[in-house]
Structure 1
Amino acid sequence: MGKTRTFEEELKQLEAEVSLMEEGNLPLDELIAHFRQGTEAAKKLLPSASESRK
């Protein structure tokens, strides 16, 4: 089992995924894989972001 990433680590992962997708050089299957990874990172960030707004 891997260690739980911090908010900052998840945000960095999401930013990296978005950057790769924005370059426009990925084949469709890789683009979809990065989109899924970015979506998972975003899901992990949402609860933390919601808590910080309270």
Structure 2
Amino acid sequence: MHKAILDYMNSDAFRPTANIAPELIQELFTKVAGDVKSYTKDSPDELKPKIN
């Protein structure tokens, strides 16, 4: 897949119309995501984390 994408980008068919700042792309790979809650308010009590 990597080679296919590079081949496409090197072809005449690749004509991007949007400009994206390099910092935005870098942020996609360096920004740390927040905590994920593995439950919802509708989850049964036994699946919710216990609060001490």
TM-score using structure 2 length: 0.27
Between the two structures, name the one with larger relative contact order (CA 8 Å, sep ≥ 6).
1
TM-score scaled by structure 1?
Answer: 0.26
Q: Which structure shows the higher helix fraction?
A: 1
Over alpha carbons, which structure has the higher Rg? Answer: 2
